[in-house]
Amino acid sequence: MKISPSIAAIAAVLSVSIGSATLAQDSVSEDMAATEAEAQAIDSETEDTADSAMEAVATDNEAQTDTADDVAETVTTDNAPETAAMDAAPKPSCELHIFPTLEGQALTTSLLSGFGIVGAVADAAANKDRNISEAEYLKEALGPRLQVQALKSLDLVEELNLEPSQIIYQTPIADRKITTKAKTRLTSSEAPCYVELIVTQNFYTKKAIYGRSLNNRFVFKDFRNGKTETKLVKGRGGNGLSHFPPKTTDETEAAEQDLREAFAKNFTEFAKKFK
């Protein structure tokens, strides 16, 4: 069979085209393979970099932890001598026992009291309800807890001219016969260096001429040198008030602060006899 020249030419062209396409495809495949290999290399390098970074962070964290531990250990070591010194410091052998009072009294008088017994009776009757309510309020506003708070603002050992002493606050004793007359110790302590301070009166007064004031009475009992009985040293202190009793609830805080300050001043007046 004889093939025409035109068909042969077309076949030749197709053969060349197919060959070129095959070569192009092979070239593309090679390029893709190279690109993939390069990508894998980059991924591998990235992973290595990430691993290195994580390792560096871990090392840094470990270093920071070690540093924190070193600081904590240093602080502990520095505080150790101080703590040991505090633990080793002996407590004072002397004891100061303090008994606050449960009492609260109030008395308001006017010019009527200046007119003898009749005037005083009329004055008392006119102010009866006020005296009762103000006495009850005084028991709350200057109760045992607030007396203790006021006394803690002072250096009691210095005020009473005592040796270094443990200060021990006791439960109030309601019986005045005990607090004002008992010559023996009011606690079971047998410490040879032992003293007692007893608050025996909280007394608010308002007088027409002198105004408002707080008066307190105290008893001091000295059992130093192992005494089992002692004499009672009694005294008082009195100071003016500016805010007590409060006229409104907004003045309550100022009124109670007024009481505590006056109470502390009253004790300081009493303590002058021991200087």
What is the structure's pLDDT at 114?
66
Whether the CB-CB separation of 241 and 259 falls below 8 Å is answered with yes
Q: Which of 5-9, 195-199, 201-205, 260-264 has the lowest mean pLDDT?
A: 5-9
Whether the CB-CB separation of 197 and 160 falls below 8 Å is answered with yes
Q: Which residue has the higher pLDDT, 207 or 29?
A: 207
What is the structure's pLDDT at 90?
77
pLDDT band at 112 (very low <50, low <70, confident <90, very high): low
pLDDT band at 222 (very low <50, low <70, confident <90, very high): very high
pTM above 0.85, yes or no: no
Q: Say whether pLDDT at 35 is over 60.
A: no
Digit-coded pLDDT (tens) for 131-154: 999 999 999 999 999 999 999 999
Digit-coded pLDDT (tens) for 161-200: 999 999 999 999 999 999 999 999 999 999 999 999 999 9
